[in-house]
Structure formats: structure tokens, C-alpha cells
Structure 1
Amino acid sequence: MSSTIKHRRVRVLLPLSIGDVYDYRAPASLDVEIGHFVTVPLGRREVTGVVWEEAIDSDLAEERMKDILAVLPCAKLPQQSLKFINWVSQYTMQRRGKVLRMAMSVPDALYPKAPRTGYRFTNKVPEKLTAARRRVLDIVSESGAQTATDIAAIAGVSVSVIKGLAEKGVLETVDLPAESPIEVPDGQFAEVELSPDQVSAANFLASAVGSHEFGVSLLEGVTGSGKTEVYFEAIAACLKEGRQSLVLLPEIALTAQLLARFEERFGVRPVEWHSDLGQSARRRNWRAVIEGRAGIVLGARSALFLPFAKLGLIVVDEEHESSFKQDEGVPYNARDMAVVRGKIGSFPVVLASATPSLESLMNAKMGKYEHLKLPSRYGGATLPNVNVIDLKLNSPGSQRWISEPLRVAIEETLSKKQQVMLFLNRRGYAPLTLCDSCGHRLQCPNCSAWLVEHRLMNRLQCHHCGYSTVLPKSCSECEAEESFKACGPGIERLVEEAEALFPDRKIAMMASDTISSPRAASEFVAAMESGEIEILIGTQIVAKGYHFPNLTLVGIIDADLGLSGGDLRAAERTYQLLSQVTGRAGRETNPGTVYLQSYLPEHPVIDAIVHQQGDDFFALEAEGRESAGMPPYGRLAALILSGANAESVARFAAGLARRAPMGEKITVLGPAPAPLSMIRGRHRYRFLVKCARDINIQSVLGKWLQGYKVPSDIRMQIDIDPYNFM
């Protein structure tokens, strides 16, 4: 009679879009703990995952059970990260493996990097001391051990010179650290003089950090009021506690000036996390975070999923920004998930903005968030004077966009040796290109969107799928030659007009096409600060966070852009964007002036900007949302169906509609072709589910979709709390 030995079993979560946890045997030879990164067999391949939980109730037959192959030499995924991944998965209705993949985005970081080989001087002098050898010995004598590559670069010699000296015993090899060390920030490095309002807010946040308790603070301050200096004090308090801080930004380009401000305050730059980082830096920074060596992390929304060892504070800067919402992959709002992460970790979260979102304002009004206000600019600077130019009365003329009052204001500002910014939130040269003979419009072959002309690149480009082509010589419809005409202004066209009006002035353009990395942004900032740029022409990338002391005039070319369309947040977003843009003017001693060009000067958004009555605007906006049952007074979820065959998608959508949930507090809108009915060659249909705040919308969707198989040729995406309605 044989006896069976019961081996320990655990469940391993793999970073895959399908499946969930899998049961594996934990061999006695391995020290397997919850959170360990492990390699396991999956079919015929080996994959890396995380030990998620004990499998006490596993009913898999012993002969089918496979062993964990290895525990990787990396710190464990912290318990708080495990809880956070579970929560995000349930809330967004996405597979846990897809969420885990965001936390495991650097597979190489799971293995320690081999030490580098360095060379140091043995004090033995070679018999033949050439000039090249002398330079090498001078360097290693002064600087100590370095790699052969570094020594060769500094000395201006080949690596063979260094290796030749090593063979003769003049140099010897030593192990150097695998990577450059992470610099330690010092919360006491610099003292900053704060205004009374700043001191009050900073003391509250520092106290919140010290309490080690969850709480959310909405830090609202007019542009230039010094919100950054206030949350710096909270970071300093967090460093004193020996804990890590995370600062989230909506745009990578914003890091340029902010990195320098961090260095001035804390002595070192923070650890960065964004898509522009090289693989080596990502690997180093990921390990520094999980090992607790990264004291301050500054990153884009994905930094929220880094495996922090001892996180004690999250700051969401420009919390109102829609860039914090991810639409692809796992749809989530980093601002909202930051609040969840703080609750799981029992630490404070700071939401900072000059123009907070309606959701955050409502939470502050209800007492869920602490509302900290900075009502005036720092250092005695005043808010700019805002004027509206009615384009019905001051038309710039055909194929022109700078009105005469704005042109005169630009001339006057430049004569005082001050800087000007012109804002137009539209990339490229023109948003539409059509045939002047037959009216044919150039459209993307993969998307239901017009091609945008980018004259600097000599390309027509789709901003949805990336397709690009050259401008055709003849029209495909009527065969007319050289008949295509640019319609409407893009930022490149505005630059062209400004160069014609101000031919002797130094003009520069700033858009996501030209500022694609923190380094490029840093060079641009330096050019502005040194006065190399007199007229800056930019898209929304210039609206956020920048501080240019000599910029005193802002001209908004099309203040109405963004007010139309079916987006429920169109008015709110336009108000926030225009407020941020106007806030770039007059941030120091010279007063600022803003001109808004508009065909709708009586619109509530334009009126609120001109009279600086944000509270009145948000009260009106809240009233409209409440009466319609829209967020934040109701809940929304979107179902987006897509496929290569339009008829197949429409048929599946119709079948899904027949079983749609109904109820007094639930409304299902659709199915209907999406406003962008095709993207990347896939035809799209949308449902929009609206329900009351007290309804669990995930439960509603779960019951609706339960047991309903999605055909293999159709993709269904669930988006809880959608921001994009296209």
C-alpha cells in the first residue's frame, strides 16, 4: 500500500491577457513566498509570474501538477501592490494578468546586473611611458578605478592601450558597481520662503504625512501661486519618515523645468519614470523602487504601478488633466487610482491644480477631500488682465488668423523687450486638405478621420493610427493637377503668418511633434529663459506648468476650439485649458495681458475666463451635469465593439442590445457607430451605460455580459468612467 506525500501548492499569476492564476507545486528545495517572482512551465515554454496566494483548496491531480522552476533574485512584489492589482482588475473589469503586466514592465530588472570591470593603477610604472600611456595613468591616478571604455574616452586613446597596460601589470582589474548609484534626496537641502497661505497648506500636508493615515487633499491655487513648493514640503516630511514619494505628471515634457526645481530643493533630481527612458535607465529605476532606494519618483501615469517598497505619499499634479486617463490596454484614470493606492497603503494623496476637475471639487464640497486654497500669486505677482476680441467685429481677413488688435498688442509687447505666446491647440499646418476643383477631402484609409497636413515634414498624417503619406500631385476623384488646398489653421500655418507679420523677430514653435522628450523640452526652456525666443507659438503642451518670467502677452487664436462636439466635459476642459494658458502671462514683476479671439464672446466659458469667475462657471456646469444625471452625479461605462467586418460588428451589437439591462436607474444608449467609426481598419460600435451613483455599474455589466460569447473576429473593450467618447 503506497502513501502519497502532500506537497505545498501555490497559485501563480502570469502577466498575460488570458487566464488567471495557475496552481503549481512549491518544491521543498525552494524558499517560495507570496510575492516572489518565479519561473514556471506553461505548456512547452517557461514564463515568469508572481506567487499570488496559497492554493490550499487546489483540486488538481498530483500527476498533472508542475513544479515552480526557480525563484528569481529580486525583491518580492510588495503586499500593497498585490492588493492594488486585484482592486484595479475588479474595478476596470480587466484580467489581473493584464494589470500585473504594467507592474512587470521591465523583465530584465528581475535579474541583478553583472558587475562591470574596472581598471586601477598598481603604482607600477611601465618601461616605455608614451604620451597616450601617461594620459591614462594621470586619469586613473586622479579618479580611481573606471571602465576601459570610460578611461579611453577621457584620455582619447583606444581600449587596447588600457588592456596593454593591464597585461604588463601597470593596471589591475576590479569589480565596479553594475549601475550608477541612485542619489539620495535631502529634505533639508534648501529652505524656501513661503507665503502665509503656503505655510498653512504645507503644515497641513506635512502633518498628514506624519500621521501615516489615508486622506485626500485638493490643493487648489491660481496659476503661479506656488503649489509645487507646498507639496515639496510634504515630500520633505515623507523623506524624514524614511518613505517614498511619487509625483505624477500628465505630460513628459513638463519634467524639464520641474526636474531643476526638485534639484534646487532636494539636492538631487528625482528618479524618473516615463516612456522616453532608455531600457537601462528603466531597469535601474524599477529595481531602485522595489528595493526602496528611490526616495522620490517623478513619472507619467504608468509610474502608479511601480512596485514601491515603502510608499508614503502620492502627488497628482495638474489632477484635472484628461491625459491621466488611459484608453488602450487597461482603461484607468491615474488620478482616481492614485486615491485607491493611498487608501490601500494608508498614506495621504495630494491632488494639485489651478483648475480642479468637477469630480474633485464635488468631493471637496462633500467633505471627502480636504480643500486647501492658494488664492493669490506668489511674490506679489498679479493675475493677467484678460480681454476678448470679437472676431465678428475684428475679422483677420481671408486665410489669416491674427486679428489687428492682437497684432498691435504683439508689437507693443515686443517693443518693451518682453516675450509673447500665441496659442492654438491644433497640430500640423492644416486640419483638412481638399481638392479645389471637386471638393474631395483627403481621408485616412484606415480611419474615419481627415489627414492632417504637416508641411515641415512634407507629409499628410493621421493622428489616430499614425498613417502618413505625401501630398498627391493630382486628385484621385477628378484628376485635377496641383488642386489641393489647405483648409483652416494648424500651428505650422500660424508660424508662417507670424513670420510674415514680424519678419525680424525670433519665432519658435512648441508642439508634441517638436518636443518629444524631456531633453528637447529642457533645450526649449533654456531658449525661452535666455531670450532666444521672442514669440512662442504652441499647442496645449505650453499650457501646463511652465514659468517664463519675461512672458507677458498671451494671444489665444481660437478660444472657441473645443467647445463643440458631444463630449460631456467639453466646456469644462476648454475652461481648464484656457485658464492654464492665460496663467502663463505675467508671472513675475511685469504685469500680464491676455487676448482671446472668439466668435462666441458671450459663451459661459469665455465669459468666465474674461471675468475670472471660475466658481460661477463650475456651479453652472455642476447644475447641468446634475440635471442630466451625468458624472460626477451619475456613473458611466462604455462598451466598444470593433472588428474588420462592419456587418459582423453591427450584427453582434444588435444581439447584445436585445439583452441590455433595464431599470429605473439604468439607461443603455446604443448601439451606434462610434463618432470615429473606424480606427486602424477596425469598424467600431459603442454602447454607453448610464446609471445612478448608488448602482454598482460593474455588477450591471457583469450580469449583462455573463455567458455571452464574443466572436473571435470581434474585440470588446469595457471602459469604466470613460473620458473619450470618440
Structure 2
Amino acid sequence: MCSHAQSGVANKEADIERVRVLLPLPLEAIYDYAVPEGMVLEPGAIVEVPLGSRLLIGVVWDDAEAAGESLPISRLKPVHTRLPAAPLPQALRRLIEWVARYTLAPIGNVLRMAIPVSAALRPERPQRALRRTSDLPEGLRETPARNRVLAVAADGLARTASDMAREAGVGPSVVKGLADAGVLEWVELPVHLALAPPDPEQDGFSLGPAQQTAADQLRSRIGQGFSATLLDGVTGSGKTEVYFEAVAEALRAGQQVLVLQPEIALSSQWLARFEARFGTRPAEWHSELTPAQRRLTWRAVADGSARVVVGARSALFLPFTELGLIVVDEEHDPAYKQEEGVIYQARDMAVLRASLEQIPIVLASATPSLESVLNVKVGKYDAVHLSLRHGSAELPKVETVDLRRDPPPRLPNGARGWLSQTLRDRVQATLEAGEQALLFLNRRGYAPLTLCRACGHRLQCPNCTTWLVEHRLTGRLQCHHCGHASRLPSHCPSCEAEDSLAACGPGVERLDEEVALLFPEARRLLLSSDVLTGPAATDEVMRRIREREVDLVVGTQIVAKGHHFPWLTLVGVVDADLGLAGGDLRAGERSFQLLHQVSGRAGRAERPGQVLLQTYEPEHPVIHALVAGDRDAFLEREADARRQGSLPPFTRLAALILSAPDPTIVDTAATALARSAPRAEGLQVLGPAPAPLAVLRGRHRRRFLIKARRDLPLQTLLRDWVGPVPLRGGLRIQVDIDPYSFL
């Protein structure tokens, strides 16, 4: 009797299916759940499951056979609900797994990047709207206001009550009265992303012979499986128009396209060019979207109605179901490196996703990264070159101003100046010719340092080991790392001397102050991330420059990327040495890329351009390469130096950052980790040492750097080393594979 009962229970349990569900939490575990009778769950299905007392959204993961059989299925909690959202595609699930393994991040944290908008997984509430059903019934008085509403509604289209009132120029009570009378009826409209599909057959741009050849090469890769192609073209060579033709070919093949950009909020010109080529704007994905826009866009990507998406690095994790092409614009840009949370390089992960999807990827840049250039050399990537500017435009002439021989003169008010006489004269000549000039200084605010002339005290952030930057436009001192802000004090906090605080060094606000004194008649524009409040403000600023409402632009790196200003013929780099020094292994490469990009803003149309680099080191290899226009020779030297120093990309590098509110806790943990550091031939562990920013946001930081031969299993070594460390007392351990920032 007992054995029969047990057998019956066993048979019943055998009929119950179990699934593994991954939750978007900072966890490595994938939990087992029972599938309720009648519910069908395939891998990728999005579900709601109980965890403790909560209901959480999760994703059914693959390989149910690998679920932990130690727990009897009778003890498993059932899946609560299957949500109506489309399943997460298989290639995206593989990407999530791969990113978690590579970065050593909890897989749940990576999943959270793929489903960041939980509301998008539930049905959107239909929108209520009104449409006309009949004429005015007998007994309902005709009025001018009612007639205007009926005229608007005569086309039979459904509109929201507020839209109908606005178009008719009446109050909402007039519309409500007609609805109550039955003249207008309520209907429910589905809510979706209002985007027309891009038209690949719309007339494109006029391509020159070199551009046409490059476009043909990119088009030929569509539908041919995985390939990675570096689109390497000088500034102004028409790279965007060329890869647009590959986008058009993918659209003709019925595929979706993802275009990644480093700073999507600043891409107004790119969006205008896309609309000119395809007749509509693409879907956008970036931090400036409203929650409703994010919901609708995520859903439109998942259901395939968003055919082209342009986005920042997080767009890489959108649930494309028909992805046929990825483009990484400005592939060299350091903004593709995510430095918080899951630390990853979006360019490299984009190549991985293209490989998983078996589709082509295009990496476009005028100053490609050393990693991409070397990948072309060894045959991992193809290359398409555009060596000339489009049309009649020529590359600008680059010259140096040796500040040792041509120091900036004093200003008319006796204050110190930052522009040499040579640069002042060139700006004046440019303005007199009716052309535009750009003065570039990659330093926000008014001054990077404020000190006391009486005792030498420097104003420092209370949460970080960094100086406070004065922003005179807002009357604030600000930390650019943690966001701390305060008023500029009237006396020194150390010696209490009054009126003794002095600004040291220039930021763009101080440079703009100098320009106002030197060129009072010029129409000036200060351009930095502090003064641009969003995409709309950026669009307006760029329009003003293009339409020559501005004579002289003072800006940071925000003006260096992709903008086309036909009348801008002079670029003056105020401090070309900024960024050349420091402990960053990519300092030279980054400086070359940034200065080359900003130089490329000059002379992009018929008028020739010129660039002046103010420097104390005109013999520096970066400065020399810019003047000579010999990028390839610079990259060869850079590669040789990295190879000799056993630095990436010829070796692997990882950073380990320990942090805690209490310095004793972090020092104790760092010492213990140093004792247990892995040892292997070809592996070198450096540290622990205080990080350059030894205190950040109130947390004390210690750093290890790990160098490894490329054939060593770096992630396995790090996981075995760091995994057993107990995270007590607020201790955190951050692992950065292939670090870009060394602060």
C-alpha cells in the first residue's frame, strides 16, 4: 500500500516540469521552479516567479537538465506568471553568459542590462481616443466651437480628447459634451512607437568613386555570415554616408540594424543625415529617453517594428530578433568602456554579439584604436580605407606654436592670458574673412584648482582625493568625480585670510572670458557638457554654428566628434600637452585621437582649414605625428613601445580595486589578498598600492594590477583568487578586465 502510494507520488512528480530561471539580481545562482500545469515555457520566456515574499521578473534559462536535482520537485515553488513579452533571443542569452564570464560580473547583473525596463514586459494600457460617429442630433444646439470640433473630426481619425480640443481651439468641456451626446465615440488605440519604417530605396547621397567602392564592399558582406570590417577614413571622408549604404542593404534583406555611438545625446547632425537618407528617424536608445519612450522602444525592438536603432553602449543588450548588421561609430572612443556596475568594453562586446548572431559588424573611425589596427594586421578584421576628404575639401594644415618662444601676452586688463600672439592674430584674420574659429581646451569649468595665496591651501573635495573645480558661471566649486558642490568661500578654510583664494590654470569658462576681452565684436559661444542641458539644446547650438550665427566657439571635447561646420576654418588647440602625461598606458594614443578629431573640424568644405597646436613640447611624438599627418607611423611607434613594455594588446591586463569606508578594513583585505596572490609563469601581480584617487565618494581605495600572458586563463585565476574573500565591513572588490581608466 505504502509502496503504491509512493510510486503514485513519484509518477506525479515525474510529470511536473522544472525550469531554471535567471533573475536580474547581483547573484550567480540560477533558481529552479516548477512549471504549472498548462503553462508552456521555452528558453528565453519572461516570467514572474516568487523569491521569498516577493514576486520578481526573470528569464527561463537554457539546459533544464542541468538544474539542481538535489531538491525534490515537490519542494519547488511554481512559476507564477508567464508575461506576454517576446522571449529573450538565444544570441542575447549567450551574450549575457559570455559577458558575465569575461568580466567576472554576476550573471544576474548582466541580465539586468538586457531587461532594464520591467514595465515594457507587461501589456501597455491602451490609449483612449475619440472619433466622429454622427452629425449633431436634433435638439443639440449648433455653436461655432462645436462646429470647429466637428471639422477637425471630419477626417474620421481618432484623437485624444486633449489633442482634439487643442486642434479645434476649444476647451475640453466642448469635446466632452459632444462625446456625451454621442457625436463622438470613445475608442481604444494601441500604444506603440510612432516611427515610419526607413526607406532604403530613397535617393541617397552622391558618393565619389572611393566612397562608392567602399560602400560596395560593405554591402557585399550583408547576409554572408560573420565578418568584422574596420572602416578607416580621414575626417570628412564620408564614412557615415558609406556605412549608410550597408544599412540600406540590410534593410532590403528584411533585417534590423544597430548603430552604436559613444555619446548619443550629441548626435543631432547624425540623426538629420539619417533622416535625409532614409526618410525617417531611427529609434533611439540612451539615458535622455523618458520612461515611456524606453518602454515603447524596448518593445519595438523585441517585436521587430524598430528596424534601425541608434544608441549608446547599453543598446547592445536590446532584444533584437532579426539583427543583420551592427555599426560601431567612432569605435576608438573611450566612452564605449562602461566603468560602473558591469565593467565592459562595448566595442569588443559588439564584435562578440555579431559573431554570436553570425552577422557583419562595421567599426568606423578616423583614428582607429590600436587594438583594431592590429586585428586588421593579423587578419582577424577586414579593412576599408578612405584616404581623401569628400568632394573638393582637403585636410587642414597643422602647425605648432612653441609656447617657450611665443608665450601668451598679458591681457588688456593686466591679467594673465592663455592665447599666444600667433593664435590671436590667426583668430583675428579668420574673423575678418567672415569665417568661423574654434578654440579647444579639454577642461570644463573656470579653473581646475583654487588655492590660498596666503598659506597655499588647496580646496579639495571632502569625499575624494581630488581638487575642486571652480565653475564661475554657476558660482560653485564642483568635484567632477562624485558631484559634490559648494559655494566658493569668502575666506581661506585653513588660515581664514579674506579674499586670498585664487584660480589657478584655465578652464573653458576662463578662456571664454579672455576671448571676450580680445575679440569683443565676435559672436561667441561657450560649448561644454555643463552648458548643454539635453538633445534639444544641443540641436539648437549646432544649428546656430552651422547657420553662421556664431563667429567664435570655445569648447571642450564635445565639439570634437563628427560635427560638420562648413564655415569653420581655424582650430586653435590652447593646451595640446594636456593628457600627454600620466600613468595611463593609452595616454599618447588618446591624445592623438582627440587632437586629430578636433583638428578635423577645420576646412570640411570649400574653404581650406588650418590648425594651431599650442605646446611646450613640439618634439613630442604625438605632436610630431599630428603636424606630419602620419598616423600610421605614430601607431607603429605606439605598438612597438607597448610590445617592448609587455603592455596590452600584447598582454592581458586586469585591475583589482578594493574599497571600503574604513581604511583599516581595506588595508587588511589588501594585505590578505597580496599573501594569497596567484603565481604562474607569465603572470605578474603589482600592488597593493593606493589608487591614484585614493578616496572616491568617501571610500578608501587600494589597487592591484595584474599582467598576464595572453595564453593564460586570466579570468579563472582571478575568480579563484578573489572568490573566497569575505565582503565584510562594507568591503567591495571591483574587477576590471582590460582597464581603460587608471584612477
Aligned amino acid, residue 286 of structure 1:
W
The one of 342, 351, 373 equivalent to 2:354 is 342
2:209 aligned with 1:196, yes or no? yes
Q: What are the within-5 Å matches in structure 2 for residues 45-56 of structure 1?
A: 45-56=54-65
Equivalent in 683, 704, 716 of residue 699 of structure 1: 716
Matches within 5 A, 1:183-582: 183-211=196-224, 213-397=225-409, 399-582=416-599
* Contact 1:252 1:517 survives alignment (8 Å): no
Query: For the Cα contact (< 8 Å) 2:193–2:297, is it kept in 1?
Result: no
Q: AA paired with 1:67?
A: P
CA contact (8 A) 1:244 1:311 kept: yes
Aligned mates of 2:175, 2:193 — CA distance in 1 = 22
CA shift, 1:706, in A, is 4.1
TM-superposed deviation, 1:160 = 2.0
1:531-590 CA distances to partner (integer Å, 9 max, x unpaired)?
111101110010000000010000000000000110000000000000001000000100
Gaps of 5+ in 1: none
Aligned-partner Cα distance in 2 for 1:143–1:584: 50
In the TM superposition, what whole-angstrom CA distance separates every residue of 1:49-95 from its partner, at most 9, and x where no partner exists? 00012433532123421000100011111111111101111111111
Tell me the residue number matched to 1:677. Answer: 694
1:710 alignment partner AA: L
Q: Partners in 2 of 1:386 and 1:21 — Cα distance? A: 57
- Offset, 1:180: 4.6
> Could you say what secondary structure the match of 1:378 adopts?
coil
Tell me which moved more, 420-429 or 707-716: 707-716
SS at match of 2:677: coil
Task: Give yes or no for the alignment of 1:74 onto 2:85.
Answer: yes
Q: Which amino acid aligns with 1:628?
A: G
**In 2: Cα distance, 1:268 partner to 1:647 partner:** 58
CA contact (8 A) 2:662 2:700 kept: yes
* Counterpart code for 1:376: L
- Mapped pair 1:134 → 2:147: yes
SS at structure 2 position matched to 1:564: coil
Could you tell me how far apart the structure 2 residues matched to 1:525 and 1:504 are? 21
Go from structure 1 to structure 2 and tell me whether the alpha carbon gap of 1:521 and 1:143 turns closer, same or farther (over 3 Å shift): farther
How big is each residue's C-alpha offset from its partner over 1:356-378, in whole Å with a ceiling of 9 and x where there is no partner?
00000000011110011100000
Shift of the alpha carbon at 1:131?
A: 2.4
* Distance in 2 between residues matched to 1:144 and 1:622, nearest whole Å: 63
For the residues of structure 2 that align with 1:506 and 1:649, how far apart are their CA atoms?
A: 53
Q: CA deviation at 1:479?
A: 0.7
Aligned equivalents of 2:386, 2:394: Cα separation in 1: 13
Question: For 1:611-652, what per-residue CA distance to the aligned partner results, in whole angstroms no more than 9, with x for missing partners?
Answer: 111111111111000001101111101100000001110111
In structure 1, C-alpha distance between the alignment counterparts of 2:190 and 2:55, rounded to whole Å: 30
Tell me the TM-score normalized by structure 2: 0.96
* Structure 1 residue 612 corresponds to structure 2 residue 655: no
Q: CA deviation at 1:143?
A: 6.4
Query: For the residues of structure 2 that align with 1:61 and 1:359, how far apart are their CA atoms?
Result: 50
Instruction: Classify the secondary structure of the residue corresponding to 1:208.
Output: coil
CA RMSD of aligned residues (A): 1.2
Cross-structure match for 2:413 = none
CA–CA distance in structure 2, aligned partners of residues 170 and 629 of structure 1 = 79
Aligned length: 725
Residue in 2 that maps onto 1:100: 111
Superposed displacement of residue 467, structure 1: 0.5
Partner in structure 2 of residue 24 of structure 1? 33
- Name 1:39's counterpart in structure 2: 48
105-114 or 115-124, larger mean C-alpha shift: 115-124
Using the TM superposition, give the Cα deviation of residue 703 of structure 1 relative to its aligned residue in structure 2, in angstroms. Answer: 2.6
Deviation at 1:19, TM superposition (A): 4.0
For residue 86 of structure 2, give the secondary structure of its aligned residue in structure 1.
coil
Conserved in 1, the CA contact under 8 Å of 2:445 and 2:470? yes
Equivalent pairs: percent with the same residue? Answer: 53
Tell me, in whole angstroms, the C-alpha distance in 1 between the residues paired with 2:110 and 2:193: 30
Partner of 1:182: 195
Return the alpha-carbon distance in structure 2 between the equivalents of residues 537 and 431 of structure 1. Answer: 17
User: Could you tell me how far apart the structure 2 residues matched to 1:571 and 1:19 are?
Assistant: 39
Answer with 689-698 or 318-327: which moved more. Answer: 689-698
Tell me, yes or no, if the aligned pair for 1:210 and 1:237 is still in contact at 8 Å: no
Partner SS, residue 220 of structure 2? helix
TM-score by length of 1: 0.98
Q: Which amino acid is the alignment partner of residue 515 of structure 1?
A: L
1:97: how far off? 0.4
Q: Distance in 2 between matches of 1:308 and 1:502?
A: 52
- Alignment partners' CA distance in 2, 1:132 and 1:494: 57
Judge conservation of contact 1:182–1:288 (CA < 8 Å) in 2. no
Contact 2:512 2:526 in 1 (8 A): yes
Q: Which residue of 1 aligns with 2:18?
A: 9
Instruction: Give yes or no for contact 2:195–2:282 (8 Å, CA) kept in 1.
Output: no
Per-residue deviation, 1:158: 2.4
Runs of 4+ in 1 over 6 A off after TM superposition: none
Measured in 2, the distance between the counterparts of 1:635 and 1:131 equals 76
Measured after TM superposition, the shift of residue 34 of structure 1 is 1.2
Say which SS state the counterpart of residue 332 (structure 1) adopts: coil
Quote the offset at 1:154 in angstroms.
2.0
SS in 1 for 2:376: helix
Question: Match for 1:248: what amino acid?
Answer: L
Contact 2:265 2:534 in 1 (8 A): yes
Aligned to 1:83: 94
Work out the CA distance in 2 between the residues paired with 1:594 and 1:620: 24
Distance, in Å, in 2 between the alignment partners of 1:135 and 1:455 is 53
8 A contact 1:254–1:546 mirrored in 2 = no
Q: Deviations over 1:215-241 (max 9, x none)?
A: 100110000001001110110111011
Kindly provide the amino acid, as one letter, of the partner of residue 178 in structure 1: V
Contact 1:253-1:541 within 8 A present in 2 as well: no
- Mapped contact 2:665–2:729 kept (Cα < 8 A): no
Partner Cα distance (1:29, 1:700) in 2: 45
**CA 1:396–1:187: 2 relative to 1, 3 Å:** same
Contact 1:544–1:580 under 8 Å retained in 2: yes
Question: Whole-Å Cα distance in 2 between the matches of residues 525 and 112 of structure 1?
Answer: 39
The CA distance in 1 between the partners of 2:364 and 2:533, in whole Å, is: 24
